[in-house]
Amino acid sequence: MLHTSVDLLPRTSGLTKKRLHALSINTYEDLLRTPPIRYEDYSHKITASQLPQFDQQKCTVEGEIVSVMPIQTRSRITLQKVRIRDRDGFVEISFFNQPYILTQLKRGMNVAFSGTVKQFGSKYTLQPETFEAVGPGIPRIQTGRILPIYSQAKGLTSRLLREKITNILIAAKQIDESLPTEMLASHELLPLSETFFTLHRPENGERLQQAKRRLSFEELFTLQLSTKLIKKQWKDITLTEQLHFPATFEKKIEESIKSLPFDLTADQRNAVRDILKDLKKEIPMNRFLQGDVGSGKTVVAAIAAYAVFLAGKKTLYMAPTEILAQQHAKTFEKILSPLGVSVGLETGSHKDSKKKKQYDIVIGTHALLSSSFSAEGVAFVIVDEQHRFGVKQRARLRQKGLTPHLLTMTATPIPRTVALTAFGELDMSVLSTTLPGRKPIKTFVIPQAKRKDAYEWIKKEIREKKIQVFIICPLVDESESETMQSVKAVKKEYESLQAIFPAFSLGLLHGKMKSKEKEQVMADFAANKISILISTSVVEVGIDIPNATVMIIEGAERFGLAQLHQLRGRIGRGTEQSYCYLFSSTPQSSARLSFFAKTHRGIQLAEYDLQERGPGNMYGFDQHGFMNMRFASFSDPKLIEETQHAANHFIDTYSLDDYPYLKQNINVIQREDVSKD
């Protein structure tokens, strides 16, 4: 029943069906899971004599229509006056500008009206908000109860949704339970059937809370069950390349660590240990290395790749942009070529198809997976700074006949609640120790009036200290990818800054430039041939230029805090004090930005973002099906923990095959997850 298509809804027009589909309401279940945005309580059923007592309140009257009168007022407004008789008098109901009422309401009909009581002079009338014909055997749908109000998108009214949903509920009578009955009892959950009835036809607020809790529980539970099952399946897959380490392995790793120009932090050591442990196992690693910007993830990845080299196998390293791929290739080369490891670059502009098979480590962009690149001998894949955390990549890898050990890295801090649910399939290593010698970046929100002063100060700093500056232009629209509009904006900014800084060398960087050009600009900036780099947020991730100590972010209010943090992480990478200046065009955003200015830990910023903007904005989850949580929230750690236990218990106790409904929903989650690009 639940999976019945809305195309089969009785007495429903083709247009309505089309509109439902447009809102991704494709099945009866989708309809039943449509959350009301609020409720109006019309459950007070009163009679004519009670009107004065209920002045300004919502209530319902009902009776036989005795007259319906169109009235033309002196202004443009038309009035439709309906009079009904109930058991102790008459009630007048006035519609404004709704002439079609005259065709729907006729003398002699029995009708209930819900609305607000209004006083006009000494008279009380009901200003109707909804009505329906009443009679024996006709269910109450639009009046006389607590009514759900739905978001009125795409021409679908609350009235229509109420009608369709109630009809499904009435026809279904009993809806099959999706969860084991024992779980309902142990977690004090309403049965699904009762939940849907309550959500759309609540008797009281308390019951409604229980219904919402049940639906939140189910969403979190299903999501966690899904990620846990993926994790379990992943462990059943055999590696395409089993690693066998030589006896000298531990010693060589230790030596490689000693050869670094710095000591690893405790967190870095732990992460290396976690990874090496995984690499020795017969099941594929699926680990997530999470560490704030500049926390030193690259070197951890390099040591892991070295370990794989010692076992005689290849590593694939995928960076999000070509610039980063180039930078990482250099870093890897610096660390690993003295140890006899060969590092090769494989990007759109660097293709060296004859040589690539000889490299021990191939570094490229995420596009590597869709290219003709040969995966032979690859045992380890590292995915750097990826928002989509590898599920898609895993599917792609498998298409290439490759099941490697997988390490995904991100600087996006993930609150624990999100990690447990959305990323439950991954093992986590976290770098949270700050690197020695790093000073927190001094961050200021700058009022427009001080803009000139800021520019003057920058000129002085460049002259005296030879420092370098990033100027980041805002996203023109909200989408994550760069549009031509953003490019235009950054070009314009570049031109006006040339007039402000005539004595300095300026560089321009945006995503629509050819990679050769980008490379040149980055090389010039790295070599301090460019003092001020004007850029879109393409510099967001990973770029490492220690001499750049000042950053200006224009239109700072347009960025999420996590993203601002990523941007800010491009400076403060040396031992000099760094400064970040935020320009904002709207004063309203100041609370967020001030919080950002005084907060240096990514995880705190991420928690703030999660509270203020929801997960969609943080992770680009909004287009992501399984993040469409309609009832649950990531800010409920108690329920998240409870559902986590429930998911573990389910896996230990039940077979998904006995719960077809749950199984279907999990399939939907997993399918969406893999197919979305």
Q: Which residues bind ligand ADP (CB under 6 A)?
A: 262-265, 268, 291, 293-299, 411, 435-436, 542, 544, 573
Residue 544: which of Mg ion, ligand ADP, none does it interact with, CB under 5 to 8 A by kind? Answer: ligand ADP
All residues at 6 or more sequence positions from 453 whose CB lies less than 8 Å from its CB, including other chains: none
- Residue 300 CB, shortest distance to ligand ADP, in Å, is 8
In the complex with Mg ion, which residue's Cβ is closer, 117 or 409?
409
In the complex with ligand ADP, which residue's Cβ is closer, 27 or 434?
434
Whole-angstrom distance, CA of residue 448 vs CA of residue 221: 48
Q: Which residue is nearest to Mg ion (CB)?
A: 542
In the complex with Mg ion, which residue's Cβ is closer, 299 or 378?
299
- Residue 270 CB, shortest distance to ligand ADP, in Å, is 12
Q: Are 41 and 193 in contact (CB under 8 A)?
A: no
In the complex with ligand ADP, which residue's Cβ is closer, 298 or 665?
298
596, 597, 602, 608: CA torsion to nearest 10: -20
- Residue 463 CB, shortest distance to ligand ADP, in Å, is 26
Q: Which residue is nearest to ligand ADP (CB)?
A: 296
In the complex with Mg ion, which residue's Cβ is closer, 393 or 643?
393
- Residue 333 CB, shortest distance to ligand ADP, in Å, is 13
Burial state string for 154-173 with b = 16 or more CB within 10 A and e = fewer than 16: eebebbbbbbbbbbbbeebe
- Residue 436 CB, shortest distance to ligand ADP, in Å, is 6
In the complex with ligand ADP, which residue's Cβ is closer, 427 or 544?
544
Residue 178: which of ligand ADP, Mg ion, none does it interact with, CB under 5 to 8 A by kind? Answer: none
- Residue 301 CB, shortest distance to Mg ion, in Å, is 8
Please give the DSSP secondary-structure letter assigned to residue 476.
Answer: S
For Mg ion, the binding residue among 415, 542, 569, 602 (CB under 5 A) is: 542
- Residue 27 CB, shortest distance to ligand ADP, in Å, is 44
- Residue 280 CB, shortest distance to ligand ADP, in Å, is 24
DSSP H or E segment with residue 315: strand 314-319
Number of residues assigned to the chain: 677
- Residue 299 CB, shortest distance to Mg ion, in Å, is 10
In the complex with Mg ion, which residue's Cβ is closer, 542 or 560?
542
- Residue 320 CB, shortest distance to Mg ion, in Å, is 10
Residue 370's nearest CA partner among 8, 30, 677, 17 is 677
Q: Are 97 and 103 in contact (CB under 8 A)?
A: no
Residue 566: which of Mg ion, ligand ADP, none does it interact with, CB under 5 to 8 A by kind? Answer: none
Residue 436: which of Mg ion, ligand ADP, none does it interact with, CB under 5 to 8 A by kind? Answer: ligand ADP
Would you tell me the crossing angle of helices 391-399 and 660-675 to the nearest 10 degrees?
A: 80
Burial class (CB in 10 A: 0-12, 13-18, 19+), 651: middle
Size of the site for Mg ion (CB under 5 A): 1
Q: Give me the helices (H) in 260-356, please.
A: 266-280, 297-310, 322-336
Query: Contact region for Mg ion (CB under 5 A) — 47-55, 144-152, 344-352, 537-545?
Result: 537-545
Q: Give me the helices (H) in 435-583, please.
A: 451-465, 484-500, 515-526, 561-568
In the complex with Mg ion, which residue's Cβ is closer, 202 or 542?
542
* Tokens representing residue 197 in the block: 């009835």
In the complex with ligand ADP, which residue's Cβ is closer, 298 or 486?
298
Query: Contact region for Mg ion (CB under 5 A) — 168-176, 542-550, 582-590, 634-642?
Result: 542-550
DSSP lists the bridge partners of residue 579 as 442, 550
Would you tell me the crossing angle of helices 602-619 and 590-598 to the nearest 10 degrees?
A: 140
Whole-angstrom distance, CA of residue 541 vs CA of residue 261: 23
Residue 262: which of ligand ADP, Mg ion, none does it interact with, CB under 5 to 8 A by kind? Answer: ligand ADP
In the complex with Mg ion, which residue's Cβ is closer, 200 or 570?
570
Would you tell me the crossing angle of helices 660-675 and 205-236 to the nearest 10 degrees?
A: 60
Q: Which residues bind Mg ion (CB under 5 A)?
A: 542
